[in-house]
Amino acid sequence: SFGVDMEEEVEEGPQIKDIGTYEGDRNEIGERHGAGRMIFPNGDVYIGGYVKGKRHGEGVYQFAYLSMQYEGAYEEGKRHGEGTMTYTNGAKYTGGWIEGARAGQGEYVHPNGDKYVGEWAADVPNGDGTYSFAVNDSSLKGVWEGGRIVSGDWLFADGSKYSGAFKFNQPHGPGSFVIGGAIQRGEHVETDAPPAPEVAEPEPEEEEEEGAERAEEGPEPLRRMKTQWVPAPGALELAV
C-alpha cells in the first residue's frame, strides 16, 4: 500500500469567555466581538475575527505544542469555509472545511512531495480525486470512499495504465492493463487472504429505548495484500 494517511485534525482552544488573555473588541455584554487576539493557557494563539464570543470570519490559529497553524475561515467557532492547515510534519492541506473537518474540494501535499487533489468528506478523501506519487510520476485517479480508492486508473509515467477495482489502495478484482497498443483484461486475486471470521448465531432482538442507536461497524482495517494478476482467456486486444 502507499502513504495516503492524512494528519488527523486537533481541537483548538476553548471558547470560554475568561480563559487565557484576550486583547480586542467586545460587545456591550462583554463577549469577544470583532477583531481580537487570544493567547490560551497552553500557549496557543488566535488572531482574527469574533462574533458573540466565538471565532468567526477570517483568522489565524497557531498551535504552540504541535507547531501547527491554520489560516482561513471560521464560523460559529469552527473551521468552516476555505482555509490552509500546515501540520507538524510539514504536510499542508488547502481547501474546504465544514464544521472543523476537511470537506469539499481540497489539496493535501505530503512532506515527501506526494499530493492528493480532489473531493473530501468527514476529514478524508471521498469522491473524485487524484493521488500523485512524487517518486515515480505515477498517479491514482478515480473514486475514493472513506480515504481509500475503490475504482479508477493507475497511470504510469511510461503511458501504460491499469483500470479497474481497488481494495486497501491496491488493485483488486476485475480490471485491465493498457501497455503500448494492447489491452489485457483479467483480475487481481488475493493469494494470502486471512480466514473469514466466524459468524456468531444471531441473538433475538430486544426492543430498544427511544433514541438508542446501534454501533456502526467501521471499514475493514487497512492491510497489505499479496495479489496475483490472472488474465482472462483470450483477453488480449488492440487498444483503440
CA dihedral 73, 79, 82, 86 (to 10 degrees): 100
Distance of CA 164 to the CA centre of its chain: 22
Position 209 scores a pLDDT of: 37
Structure confidence by residue, pLDDT tens digits, 12-49: 766 655 578 999 999 999 999 999 999 999 999 999 99
Question: Hey, CA dihedral for 227, 230, 236, 240, is it positive or negative?
Answer: negative
Question: What distance in Å separates the CA atoms of residue 114 and residue 157, rounded to the nearest whole number?
Answer: 15
Amino acid letter, 190: E
Which range has the worst mean pLDDT, 85-99, 110-124, 198-212?
198-212
Q: Which residues pair with 130 in a beta bridge?
A: 117, 141
Cα–Cα distance for residue pair 146/124, rounded to 1 Å: 6
Q: What distance in Å separates the CA atoms of residue 25 and residue 194, rounded to the nearest whole number? A: 61
Tell me the average pLDDT across 67-92.
97
Q: What pLDDT, on the 0 to 100 scale, is given for residue 48? A: 98
pLDDT at 199 over 60: no
Q: What's the pTM?
A: 0.81
